[in-house]
A and B are shown apart, each in its own frame.
Chain A
């Protein structure tokens, strides 16, 4: 009963789609590292599964995080995803309501209006509900069309440039729902029935067009609808719409604690293919907004990596400021993916290069607190002298970890992809820290901080940024500061400290203990990058300066007397483009210490 020849394109498309996707997922999961597989098995019967289901509903269907960024944009994504989902689910319920629990083939649900022509006892409510849902989806399609013309009204300055495959799939997708509307309306015109939308359009068609034309168009329009569906399903796994399904396993795997690794693994497939190329990352990118670099943003990086056409230039032209990852509605681990792409292209360790390690360690002294200034702090010695003043005032026993014998933390090498060389640094420094028996490791450099926390195994050693450490000294009364409301400061959140390590409040607490803090336009998670990031090996100095200038303009616009940051690299970058006083957090602490009686 539920078959007609026009169903063939749909059936073929559906079979190809499910075979392709199933094949891919099985292969990807089979290729996962053993430890990842164990994580899945361990997590399967825990609350992680429930959380994943909830997250799938929120993000894959409702698109809550996009709603938060822009309501209209959220509605567009939600209407397409959730609307279509409801059409399928309610369509199935509708069929069941008519036919009972009897088996109905898939095309029976999808083309129910076609097959329902002969059925007598119409349930009008379902017709209305299905029409309303179709209208819901169509409103999303209309918004998508509108977004092509005026993306600004949906909160997007720039949208993604799509590949040919994407355009083909997109054309099919845009066709599906309008043809469904027309097919169901013509059916209503010829055979009656239909909900409040299709019945009315059908009646109108009857008035305008001759009956013979409508009868003649009836079969072809269902063929067109079936072809649009079939065509979309075949194109889908080879286009950005692969994300529709892939986001779901990604959510589950992420909640089972699978992570992107230093070298590429099968899990990356789920991450890379979950990108919907929505383009939200493009506006966040300062390389785009300030320098007009157009083909390097995360969406394009993932596109190239998916197509195996990634080149060094695209992989390396990124500040790794994390602004895009922060906005990504799918939560893709963009920076880690870029890092392991770089590692795949550039990890060629030179064993002889590190022979100098052997004669390096001239370290002496002890202390519960190890202070690792960081290479960039060595180049901004005002911070060094300020920290020395603070340590002395607090009476802390400090061992200077990288003055005599420490090496670079390794993160600059890691950022360029030289993972193995970076790991040599990690091993060396770890041994050095253990040798001196420190229990707390303080660093002035957020870049070092991030790698200490993520790439070192420093169990038993507490790792602090100097902003956290200074705040502790204040709270425990070891140092006290002179406060005056007349002292005005503005604070720049360094990328690696804020988005990288989640440290936003401590520096602010320290500043407000001294004076008044005026926030710049972009702050906290939305703060801008200073442009001098070690992660970008492509842009020139003058391009770095362009980025830095736009940031200093914002900081200067606050009218604060002193610009404060908490990263030596940011300080250097900002110092290049401002005439105003730019200092590290430790400097304002050192100059505003209350000398003890």
Chain B
């Protein structure tokens, strides 16, 4: 009988992990707490830097999971993990030979940055809201009009000690550029401003897209964080910021304020860590055994990591880790440690 590996999470990392494990002759079981597979990517519209529809990633993966007969249990939340056993919130125990954590991360709750007025004023959105609006083809201001001026604020809930999120969320810079271009395509007359601390264009084609945004789409980039937003009588939002390159404070009225929310560690990580003995990094993400050859191993034998459960990552990086982790699980189960 082939060995069973529990994969916690049915996002893209979880699905790819399960597929790779299956092809190596193991019997993976995906435990997903929501009612569907696909994770966060399923809510996204187009993917950077190529503007590929997100469903081109999720749909083939979901189809492959079905075709390969991989066991999937939806709507079940894991409350405790030991190296050879997983306990669900129903109290059910599932024995297994190894566990791969693909439980991903959580999007930062923008209401915590109360000064931006998210959830208080109209016309303040998060990057995730914009993706949903794009999916539903209903991007507009609260009154249904086409925006004439849009501000996109980077680093909301990332690289921000004030909200206990010191780490860089990695993908928001390029997402800001991507959404700016998408919005510009939708509203060619709109002025679009990106407010940033640093622009980190680390991936292939990212820097090119950033240049294209400035040259071809005339999108403005202002180095400085927005300090506060307040509502105007006409429903627009007034923002205050400092252009740190010129050293001058500025005030601007915009029709839409879009907050690039970062990835933060799941709250569940705390008890998954304490029950399993796999350690967490100071930022709350799971800690890799090291950043090089063992980056998909947790600090506990038999518990593996893939995807954004260990740090913010792009889709490509997460999928690579999923393939890698399957091989490391195979080594562990076939040859012992």
CA distance A582 to B112 in the complex (A): 11
Cross-interface CB contact of B115 among A381, A385, A541, cutoff 8 Å: A381
Q: Is B120 an interface residue (CB 8 A)?
A: yes
Q: Which residues of A contact B164 (CB under 8 A)?
A: 541, 545, 576
Q: Is B56 an interface residue (CB 8 A)?
A: no
Q: Is B234 an interface residue (CB 8 A)?
A: no
CA distance A542 to B165 in the complex (A): 11
Residue among B162, B163, B249 with the most chain A CB within 10 A? B162
Q: Are A541's CB and B114's CB within 8 A?
A: no
Q: Are A379's CB and B115's CB within 8 A?
A: yes
Q: Which residues of A contact B228 (CB under 8 A)?
A: 378-379, 381
Q: Is A74 an interface residue (CB 8 A)?
A: no
CA distance A382 to B114 in the complex (A): 8
Q: Are A379's CB and B114's CB within 8 A?
A: yes
Q: Are A378's CB and B230's CB within 8 A?
A: yes
Where chain B touches its partner, the secondary structure class is: mixed
Interface residues on chain A, number (Cβ under 8 Å): 15
Q: Are B117's CB and A381's CB within 8 A?
A: yes
Q: Is A575 an interface residue (CB 8 A)?
A: yes
| Residues in B170-217 with C-beta less than 8 Å from chain A | none
| Chain A positions 16 through 59: 1 when the CB is less than 8 Å from some CB of chain B, otherwise 0 | 00000000000000000000000000000000000000000000
Q: Is B137 an interface residue (CB 8 A)?
A: no
Q: Closest Cβ of chain A: how far from B98's Cβ, in Å?
A: 32
Q: Is B92 an interface residue (CB 8 A)?
A: no
Q: Is A380 an interface residue (CB 8 A)?
A: yes
Q: Closest Cβ of chain A: how far from B83's Cβ, in Å?
A: 30
Q: A379-B228, A381-B114, A575-B112 are in contact. Are A541 and B121 (CB under 8 A)?
A: no
Q: Which residue of A lies closest to B248 (CB)?
A: A356
Q: Are B230's CB and A576's CB within 8 A?
A: no
Q: Which residue of A lies closest to B114 (CB)?
A: A380
Q: Which residues of B contact A576 (CB under 8 A)?
A: 162-164
Q: Which residue of A lies closest to B240 (CB)?
A: A378
Residue among B114, B120, B230 with the most chain A CB within 10 A? B114
Q: Which residue of A lies closest to B113 (CB)?
A: A379
CA distance A575 to B115 in the complex (A): 13
Q: Are B162's CB and A541's CB within 8 A?
A: yes
| Chain A positions 214 through 243: 1 when the CB is less than 8 Å from some CB of chain B, otherwise 0 | 000000000000000000000000000000
Q: Are B161's CB and A382's CB within 8 A?
A: no
Q: Which residue of B lies closest to A541 (CB)?
A: B161
Q: Closest Cβ of chain B: how far from A353's Cβ, in Å?
A: 11
Q: Are A385's CB and B162's CB within 8 A?
A: no
Q: Which residue of A lies closest to B119 (CB)?
A: A382
Q: Closest Cβ of chain A: how far from B184's Cβ, in Å?
A: 29
CA distance A544 to B112 in the complex (A): 17
Q: Which residue of A lies closest to B229 (CB)?
A: A381
| Chain B positions 90 through 133: 1 when the CB is less than 8 Å from some CB of chain A, otherwise 0 | 00000000000000000000001011010011000000000000
Q: Which residue of B lies closest to A545 (CB)?
A: B164
Q: Which residue of A lies closest to B227 (CB)?
A: A379
Cross-interface CB contact of A378 among B115, B161, B162, cutoff 8 Å: B115
Q: Which residues of A contact B227 (CB under 8 A)?
A: 379
CA distance A576 to B165 in the complex (A): 10
CA distance A466 to B228 in the complex (A): 22
| Chain B positions 211 through 235: 1 when the CB is less than 8 Å from some CB of chain A, otherwise 0 | 0000000000000000110100000
Q: Closest Cβ of chain A: how far from B280's Cβ, in Å?
A: 16
Q: Which residue of B lies closest to A532 (CB)?
A: B162
CA distance A541 to B228 in the complex (A): 20
Q: Closest Cβ of chain A: how far from B21's Cβ, in Å?
A: 36
Q: Which residues of B contact A380 (CB under 8 A)?
A: 114-115
Q: Which residues of A contact B121 (CB under 8 A)?
A: 381
Where chain A touches its partner, the secondary structure class is: helix
CA distance A456 to B305 in the complex (A): 60
Which bracket fits the contact residues of B?
Answer: 10 to 19
Q: Closest Cβ of chain A: how far from B270's Cβ, in Å?
A: 12
CA distance A380 to B112 in the complex (A): 10
CA distance A575 to B164 in the complex (A): 11
CA distance A572 to B112 in the complex (A): 9
Q: Which residues of B contact A382 (CB under 8 A)?
A: 114, 120
Q: Which residue of A lies closest to B112 (CB)?
A: A575
CA distance A572 to B162 in the complex (A): 9
Q: Which residues of B contact A575 (CB under 8 A)?
A: 112, 114
| Chain B positions 146 through 164: 1 when the CB is less than 8 Å from some CB of chain A, otherwise 0 | 0000000000000001111
CA distance A572 to B121 in the complex (A): 19
CA distance A197 to B195 in the complex (A): 83
CA distance A384 to B230 in the complex (A): 10
CA distance A541 to B249 in the complex (A): 25
CA distance A542 to B115 in the complex (A): 21
CA distance A384 to B117 in the complex (A): 11
Q: Which residue of B lies closest to A576 (CB)?
A: B164
Q: Which residues of B contact A572 (CB under 8 A)?
A: 114
CA distance A541 to B163 in the complex (A): 9
Q: Closest Cβ of chain B: how far from A573's Cβ, in Å?
A: 10
Q: Which residue of B lies closest to A542 (CB)?
A: B161
CA distance A202 to B162 in the complex (A): 71
CA distance A577 to B249 in the complex (A): 31
Q: Which residues of A contact B161 (CB under 8 A)?
A: 540-542
CA distance A540 to B166 in the complex (A): 13
Q: Which residues of A contact B112 (CB under 8 A)?
A: 575
CA distance A381 to B119 in the complex (A): 11
CA distance A572 to B230 in the complex (A): 17
CA distance A159 to B227 in the complex (A): 43
| Chain A positions 540 through 554: 1 when the CB is less than 8 Å from some CB of chain B, otherwise 0 | 111001000000000
Q: Which residues of B contact A541 (CB under 8 A)?
A: 161-162, 164
Q: Closest Cβ of chain B: how far from A298's Cβ, in Å?
A: 28
Q: Which residues of B contact A378 (CB under 8 A)?
A: 115, 228, 230
Q: Are B162's CB and A381's CB within 8 A?
A: no
CA distance A572 to B160 in the complex (A): 14
CA distance A541 to B164 in the complex (A): 8
Q: Which residues of A contact B230 (CB under 8 A)?
A: 378, 381, 384
Q: Closest Cβ of chain B: how far from A407's Cβ, in Å?
A: 12
Q: Closest Cβ of chain B: how far from A379's Cβ, in Å?
A: 4
CA distance A575 to B163 in the complex (A): 9
Q: Which residues of B contact A385 (CB under 8 A)?
A: 120
Q: Which residues of B contact A542 (CB under 8 A)?
A: 161
Q: Which residue of B lies closest to A375 (CB)?
A: B228
Q: Which residues of A contact B162 (CB under 8 A)?
A: 541, 576
CA distance A576 to B249 in the complex (A): 27
CA distance A274 to B161 in the complex (A): 41
Q: Which residue of A lies closest to B267 (CB)?
A: A579
Q: Closest Cβ of chain B: how far from A390's Cβ, in Å?
A: 16
Q: Closest Cβ of chain A: how far from B78's Cβ, in Å?
A: 20
Q: Which residues of A contact B117 (CB under 8 A)?
A: 381
CA distance A575 to B114 in the complex (A): 10
CA distance A389 to B216 in the complex (A): 46
Q: Which residue of A lies closest to B161 (CB)?
A: A541
Q: Which residues of A contact B114 (CB under 8 A)?
A: 379-382, 572, 575
Q: Closest Cβ of chain B: how far from A411's Cβ, in Å?
A: 18
Q: Closest Cβ of chain B: how far from A152's Cβ, in Å?
A: 34
Q: Which residue of B lies closest to A378 (CB)?
A: B228
The 3 closest A-B pairs by CB, nearest first: A541-B161, A379-B115, A380-B114
B: residues with CB less than 8 A from A are 112, 114-115, 117, 120-121, 161-164, 227-228, 230, 249
A: residues with CB less than 8 A from B are 356, 378-382, 384-385, 540-542, 545, 572, 575-576
Q: Can you list 27 A-B pairs, Cβ within 8 angstroms, ordered by A?
A: A356-B249, A378-B115, A378-B228, A378-B230, A379-B114, A379-B115, A379-B227, A379-B228, A380-B114, A380-B115, A381-B114, A381-B115, A381-B117, A381-B121, A381-B228, A381-B230, A382-B120, A384-B230, A385-B120, A541-B161, A541-B162, A541-B164, A545-B164, A572-B114, A575-B112, A576-B163, A576-B164
Not counting A378-B115, A379-B228, A381-B115, a sample of 20 additional A-B residue pairs whose C-beta atoms are within 8 angstroms of each other reads A356-B249, A379-B114, A379-B227, A380-B114, A381-B114, A381-B120, A381-B121, A381-B228, A381-B230, A382-B114, A382-B120, A540-B161, A541-B161, A541-B162, A541-B164, A545-B164, A572-B114, A575-B114, A576-B163, A576-B164
